[in-house]
Each structure stands twice: as C-alpha cells, then as structure tokens.
Structure 1
C-alpha cells in the first residue's frame, strides 16, 4: 500500500522542475530579502534557500514528508523578493507554485476542506457573476444599516479577529457617478482594460477612475466582456490547473489584435497575467496567444507615464500640501519590475510632499489571502511595516494593489493612535481625486 509520503514524493517528481531546483547555489543572498526568514529569527526552513533544499529533498526521497515541511511552504508569502536578490536568477516563483500544486496532488483532504476549496476556486473565483453576487451581499450589509447595528452590539467580537479587522477596512460602495475630468488631446493609443474580479466588484469605483484617467489622457479604452479572475489566487494556492482554466478563458475574450496594450491596475493580477506565456508554454492551442497577451501587458502607472500624466500634473497649482508615501506591491516590483513609475507620478503632484518609506520594497503581509491563512506571521510583518510608517507619519499611504490597500488600512487602524488623520488609498483614486480638486471642467 502506498503511504502519504510516497504519494507526496511522486507528486513532487511529477510537478517540481529539477532543473529549476539545481539553479540554486545556496549562496544566501536571498536571506535578508525574505520577510519570513527575518521574522522567524533566521530559521533556515523559512528562507527561499531552505525551502528549495526541502523541495529537492522531498523530490529525491531524502526526507519524509510531514507537517513541518508543509508548514515551511505554507509560511512562504510568495512575495518573490528573493528573485531580484538572487545572482543566479533562480526562478523561485515557479518553484513555489509547482510545490503547492504537488501538495494538492499528493495530499488527502477532508470533505469539508474539499468543499470550501471547491466553492472558492470553482465558484467564487471562476465565475464573475458569483463574485458580483457575493460583493452585492457585502454592499447590502453596508447600506442597509446592518453594519452599524452589528458594530454597535459587538456582534463581530464573536468571530475570529482577522474577520473583524477585514470588516473594518471594507471599501465604501461605489458612487453612482464620478465628476468629469478635463479632456486632453487624443493620443493614437488603443488599450484593453483587464478589470479583475475584486477590482471590478469590491473596488469598482477605483476601476471607474482608472478608465476615466486613461480616457482623459486621450487613450481609447475597451473592456472585453466575460473576463474572469486572472488565476493568481488559484496558482498561489496550488490549484494550477484551475488557474490555467481561467487563463484560457481570458485569452478567449482578449482577442483584439489592434490594441497597443492590455492594462491592469492590480499588482498581484498584473504579475500573474504577465506569466500566462509561462503557464501555458506547452498548450498547443493557447501557447502563441499567451505570448502575444503577455507582450502587451502593462501596469497602470507605467501606462499613465507613457501618456504624459506627470507632465499634466505639474501644470496644476494646488493650495493644500500633505505628506504622502508609497508602499510597493511585491509582485508589481519583483515580477513586473515596476517601481519608479508610481513614484514619478506621486512626485509630480506638487500638492503633496513625497517621503520614501523605509522598507517600502518589502511585503506588507497581505500576499493574496496569506493574511487570512497565516494571520500571526502576517501581523508580525505588518507591525514592522507600520513602525516605518509611523516614523515618517504620512497623511496618505499610496498602494497599487487591493490586498495591499486593505492591509495597510488595517495597519493604520490597529497601530496608529491618530489613524483618523491617516489613510491608505489606491494610486488611481488619489490621482483622480487630486485632478478633480484642482481643475474645473
């Protein structure tokens, strides 16, 4: 009879690329870049180097699979800060995704866990109508008065702390209409907008402001219908087959060859979208389409810079002056290589004093649903982040990813005694509101 350890080894042999494992030279340059290594007081098993060693040991049958090994992989944020730090170019992102996929193949799960994962990855994040329905329930909770009553009677105290914290940072419902922006000369540019699942429901107003900014700067924007979740949450949770299913569904609707770029405004989504060519590399039907799709990917900040937003912002003459800072989206920075463009935009807004945040390039602890699955480590990472925020005391912390935004807002509410004067916002919201306040249409 085959035991669980043997099943897991076979799953690792099937899924984890040995050539990628052998790229690691064990040099240790990744160690100071890894948040979990730092926050576990330098435990090797919670470093990229240590995890790669465990991957290979399991694959080669040199260690017996147990809960401690699984915990090492579960503890990984997937922030991929180790990749820019690595002189050998180790592809840690694909390795941790392959590892989590192997765990799903080799692990026997209880019926309840199977049901929850099925409802999440085959329902909520595979069907935009289901996501819309779920968010509509949240909006009803916010608008009907239930939220006020629930908070007043302390009902949320009956739930795990992270649920109460997340409830406290839910974004406000989208307004029915937005103020008009000035219209600048048209640019000869046509872009498709990847609207996302959470961004087009829970953060719908941010999406609307994104489109308005692009159109203000003269771009023609089209929004393909029947888009699905990018697949990032699936891929990061070991459900790679389901992530590829979503990728194929998106490639089926992004078929307009005339577009110059496919733009997104969520760092986590953008990184996964930019690797569709990797995920579908051996798909006979979608491989070439995935390459074209990937080549046209661009982050919102990068596109806004190309369209001349910083130059336009410098023509405005605001009266007020507030301090702002920027928290990088890990995937936007480490996978897509975008870090200067958001800062260029923020520094061109003369109504703000920009101050760099120490450790802005390190993870905030959100990491998709990591802050739900690993709340203790996520909180430790966030606490360190908020110490740096308090050191410079900005009025606004700017982000470029919905998970980062909610995590930073949570940090402001839980660790800053003066959080009523401090907030976190998405860069699209900040720029849109800034233009409205300082122009007349």
Structure 2
C-alpha cells in the first residue's frame, strides 16, 4: 500500500462505505478523502479473487456523498457552471478553446507565469495550465470535417469520439488520431450530435447527469463502432 493506510486501499474503502451505509460513520470527510484519492482505474477488480465490483461501489458511494454534502457557495458555483453550462454545450467549449488561444496569442500567459499568479488558482488549475499543449486558432478549429475518407482500401467504418476537454485542449491529438486511423484503413465519421462522455460527472458523483449524457451519445452514435483517444 503506497499510501500507508488501510483506508486508502480498495478493501479499506469498501469497509468505509459499508460503515457509512450502516450509520456507523456520520462525518463525511472520513470517507471523502480516501474516495477522492482513488483514480477509479479498477485494476483492483482484475486482481480480486472473488470478483468484487469495486467500480460500482465507488461510483455509488461518490453519488451518495454528493447528495449528502453541503458545498460552499464558490464550490457549488464552479460545479454548476462546469456541469450545466460548460462541458455539455459545444459553443461554450469552443469559446473556452478560443479564449485559451487568445490567452496565449496576447502573451497574457507569459505575464501570468512570471507573476506567479497561476499558483494562487484553486483546484490545481495552475499546475494544469503548465502542461497544456499549444492551442489551435479559431480558424483552424472551424475546419474540422465531419467525415474523413480512408487512405487506400477501406477495412472499417467507425465513428470517432472527439470528447469535450480532449477536443478543446488537445485538439491536435484528435487530428493526428484521425489521420492515423485513415492510414490504417478506416472511413471516419464525426457524429455532430455527440456530447461530453459524462466521465467527469460520474467521477464527481453526478450520476444522474452522467446517465443523461450517455443516452444522448447512444442516440448520436447509433450502431457504429466507436473509437476514443481520451
């Protein structure tokens, strides 16, 4: 156990959730930290000899915590802005990407980095900004085709999932992925009505919204094979 605590191990987390459900734990912070530090990779499931569905337990526990917790006004405002007005709305995500390009283009980025102002941002946003790739221009962003024809003989027809954050902040990776797929024998469609996959919602305990986004994507993609690089 790299964390040195039983509560930061799958078995310990499951026990905490059980005690919370039985009413033996009333302080949510005792459960919150161990759950928040879990990446949710579910690698523990492959190693479990009894097949415990840890992923389902983790998602259900996070959803239950969100329903019980009283968020402070700033945190509640940020969550509502991101989840209701941000990720699922393409125009808003496009605006975010274009704003980041402008932030780089006007050299405001250099000023912010030299002033160390980024270190004061909440939610580790400063650390995230430090590893961001170069933004694409609004003009370049508008030229994304809804269909890319195979280079050579067609072997597969697929729909490519662009994602929300992936498409806004890591657009070049999406483009290179599509080029590679075309070279590998794929006709690639970009479903226009696709939306956020809902992973960020599920990880944050907003399961009802995550399910609604999943339903929208099922409708958008139909029965095609789907590829994502997120």
Calculate the TM-score normalised by the size of structure 2.
0.86
Contact 2:97–2:135 (CA under 8 A) maintained in structure 1: no
Deviation of 1:106 after TM superposition, in Å, equals: 1.9
Mapped to 2, the partners of 1:48 and 1:83 lie a distance apart of 9
User: Which residue is equivalent to 2:11?
Assistant: 49
* Structure 2: 5+ residue stretches without partners: 144-149
Mapped to 1, the partners of 2:123 and 2:71 lie a distance apart of 26
CA pair 159-121 structure 1, distance change in 2 beyond 3 A? closer
CA pair 52-222 structure 1, distance change in 2 beyond 3 A? same
Aligned residue runs from structure 1 range 117-132, under 5 A: 117-132=79-94
- Counterpart among 180, 185, 188 of residue 218 in structure 1: 185
Q: Does 1:263 align with 2:227?
A: yes
Q: Does 1:38 align with 2:2?
A: yes
User: Which residue is equivalent to 1:245?
Assistant: 212
User: Which residue is equivalent to 1:196?
Assistant: 163
Mapped to 2, the partners of 1:142 and 1:58 lie a distance apart of 46
* Structure 1: 5+ residue stretches without partners: 1-36, 178-182, 267-441
Higher RCO, 1 or 2 (CA under 8 Å, sep at least 6)?
A: 2
User: Which residue is equivalent to 2:174?
Assistant: 207
Larger radius of gyration: 1
CA pair 187-86 structure 1, distance change in 2 beyond 3 A? same
Contact 2:120–2:126 (CA under 8 A) maintained in structure 1: no
Mapped to 1, the partners of 2:166 and 2:26 lie a distance apart of 42
Contact 1:196–1:228 (CA under 8 A) maintained in structure 2: yes
Contact 2:100–2:135 (CA under 8 A) maintained in structure 1: no
Contact 1:186–1:217 (CA under 8 A) maintained in structure 2: no
Calculate the TM-score normalised by the size of structure 1.
0.47
Contact 2:10–2:44 (CA under 8 A) maintained in structure 1: yes
Deviation of 1:53 after TM superposition, in Å, equals: 1.0
Aligned pair count? Answer: 220
Superposed CA deviations along residues 275-310 of structure 1, whole A, max 9, x for unmatched, are xxxxxxxxxxxxxxxxxxxxxxxxxxxxxxxxxxxx
Q: Does 1:75 align with 2:37?
A: yes
